Amino acid sequence: MFLTAARLDDPPELLEPYLENLGVVCALQENPLKFRAPITVITGENGVGKSTLVEALAVGMRLNPEGGSRHANFGTVEGSVSSLGAALTLTRRENPRDAFFLRGESYFNVAGYYEGLAPPPPGSPRMDDLLKMSHGQGLMALIERRFHSNGLFFLDEPEAGLSVLRQLELLGKLYHLARKGSQIIMATHSPVLLAIPGAEIWEFTRDGVEVVAFDSTESVRAAREFVADPRGTARFMIGEE
């Protein structure tokens, strides 16, 4: 475990107006967020601030806001980073020897950045060929080559572009990374990734955060209801029932 807690010392009114009422900010107002497990999985409905929180934590650990490592230096969208990262105080038990931020939405920006770098030195993993692969293949190649033991890894909705089988593969990869001393903090809607053994699941709502069991998460309940009656659910959603 490297990162153990995050707290918000400043009043929310000092943040951008759209941040004030996010579920993550409401939770931070109440108490610091404490990381108690090597894998923390963050879930919840759209708009509660899951990605905003993961970005803020990554920025607080001096990672590139659009993804990459501490040494990645690129940006494609000006002014896209919220002020939450600068407002958080992070507590660390120790500093990881390496860290990486992977965002599903900006994966191609990261892959393009690596493609433009000079060839890696002998013995270092190749990273300049990711754009020659499909989205899912490239994302898994990046994780395989770049994630390792004793690192701190932030993932924001990595299921984007991954088939269910690839998500299962990622589940296994993250589990074994944690067993080898890494810490993973991930935001996801994927019921597959929510099932990582030993992970602590945080479910955010507009009112705050709750530590929940896998079976209680909204994503899992919705997936089970659909699988139990897919045609009936589809008919209901299109207004035929």
Task: Specify the CATH number for the domain of residue 118.
Answer: 3.40.50.300
Q: Does residue 68 belong to any structural domain of this protein?
A: yes
Within a domain: residue 75? yes
Q: Is position 221 within any domain?
A: no
Low-confidence spans in the chain with pLDDT less than 50? none
DSSP 68-90: B-TT----SSTT-S-SHHHHEEE
The verdict on residue 238 lying in a domain is no
Give residue-wise pLDDT tens across range 209-223. 999 999 999 999 999
**What's the confidence (pLDDT) of residue 76?**
60
Which tokens go with 100? Answer: 């990486």
Whether 44 is in a domain gets the answer yes
Domain that holds residue 78: 3-210
Q: Is residue 215 part of a domain?
A: no
The answer to the question of residue 234 being in a domain is: no
The predicted structure's pLDDT at residue 55: 93
CA gap 184, 21 in Å, rounded: 26
- Provide the total of helices (H) and of strands (E) in the chain, helices listed first: 9, 9
Single pTM value for the model: 0.92
Domain tally, the chain? 1
Beta-strand pair 183-187/152-156? parallel
pLDDT in tens, 4-54: 999 998 888 888 888 888 999 989 988 999 999 999 999 999 999 999 999
Per-residue pLDDT at 125: 78
- Residue 207: the pLDDT is 87
In a domain, 222, yes or no: no
pLDDT for residue 169: 96
